[in-house]
Amino acid sequence: MTGLSLLLLPFMLRAATGLIVASLALSPVGVAALALNLAGLRFTLMHLGLLGAAAGLAGGVDPFLAGMTFIAGGSLLFGPVADWVKLDVGQTSSLFMTGSLAAAFLLLYKADVPAMEAFSIFTGSILTLTPRDLAVLSLFGAGVLAVLGLWYWELNLMLFDQELAAALGVRASAFRYAVLALLGLAIGACLKLVGALMVDALLMLPAMAALPLARNLKHALVLSSFFGLISSTLGIVASLQWDLPISASVAMAGVLVLAASQGVRSIWRLRSSSAARTSA
């Protein structure tokens, strides 16, 4: 079996479906994270994932599951801890990142755990996606879309002006915590698909491609989903057709989609400025 016919294999079909579900449902979370300036936190959450993987290996638990649990826990704790210690997001991020990296290395050393196994969390394991994983991912994706739909106007207000949102009665802190938790859970969900290093391919690149072209938040959310879908599909096809690693192919497709969106944006700008010159 070669090329696209590989999709007839159940594990390959599950991998492709998982990627498409994740890109459709999770890319919009990247829009919220970018617009609320929380994008940098993904590195902190990834380091927490490494600590979780190390703890999992030391305790005989699946490192992916442990990594995802640590990321989810960290994303729930991050906001309240930042407020409690009265440090800004950048400082708290450094605290979490350095602390978790140090703890991971200490754990790897003392528990005599093979470090490379813990680092496997960074490369992902999409071909081992089980039907149960896929079901959980689909449910989570549906939940993410429902939450974004439910909070559309609150998100709009928060992205517009957080102080104004709070003055109108939006619980701004709770909202930021919720977006953070959503980001953490989305990163956790992406871990098994493409690995921590490629999380950007599913979460951030489609959002970055969507933002310059969007006319409002709704467009940005829909476009990010669309670009995520395009990146995943192109990545899967390229991977099967030319025998390339899936995660790297999806990430490269994401980069190309981003470059194309920037190109379209530049053409729009040129056209609108020449139209303005003509009318003047």
Specify the residue, 166 or 256, whose C-beta has the smaller distance to another protein. 166
> In the block, which residue shows the tokens 């953490």?
184
Judged by CB under 8 A, does residue 170 bind another protein?
yes
How many C-beta atoms surround the C-beta of residue 172 within 10 A? 18
CB of 119: closest distance to another protein in angstroms?
A: 35
Tell me the site size for another protein, rule CB under 8 A: 24
- Of 164, 259, 260, 275, the one binding another protein (CB under 8 A) is 164
DSSP 5: G
- Sign of torsion over alpha carbons 166, 168, 169, 171: negative
In one letter, which amino acid is 136?
V
SS (HEC) of 74-141 = HHHHHHHHHHHCCCCHHHHHHHHHHHHHHHHHHHHHHCCCCHHHHHHHHCCCHHHCCHHHHHHHHHHH
Question: Of 29-48, which residues contact another protein (CB under 8 A)?
Answer: 35
CB of 207: closest distance to another protein in angstroms?
A: 11
Q: Which stretch binds another protein (CB under 8 A): 128-136, 165-173, 174-182, 235-243?
A: 165-173
Rounded CA separation 271/148 (Å): 34
Specify the residue, 247 or 261, whose C-beta has the smaller distance to another protein. 261
How far lies 50's CA from each of 66, 117, 257, in Å? Answer: 9, 10, 29
Q: Which stretch binds another protein (CB under 8 A): 137-145, 159-167, 192-200, 244-252?
A: 159-167
Rounded CA separation 234/216 (Å): 26
Specify the residue, 115 or 159, whose C-beta has the smaller distance to another protein. 159
Specify the residue, 34 or 53, whose C-beta has the smaller distance to another protein. 34
Question: Of 214-233, which residues contact another protein (CB under 8 A)?
Answer: 214-217, 220
CA of residue 135 relative to chain centroid, distance? 18
Checking phi first, is residue 8 left (phi over 0); if not, alpha (psi -120 to 50) or beta? alpha
Q: Which stretch binds another protein (CB under 8 A): 120-128, 157-165, 198-206, 261-269?
A: 157-165
Rounded CA separation 170/163 (Å): 9
User: Pattern of binders to another protein over 117-156, x per CB under 8 A?
Assistant: ---------------------------------xx-xx-x
- Of 48, 113, 157, 181, the one binding another protein (CB under 8 A) is 157
DSSP 280: -
CB of 78: closest distance to another protein in angstroms?
A: 21
Q: Where do contacts with another protein occur on this chain (CB under 8 A)?
A: 35, 150-151, 153-154, 156-157, 159-161, 163-170, 211, 214-217, 220
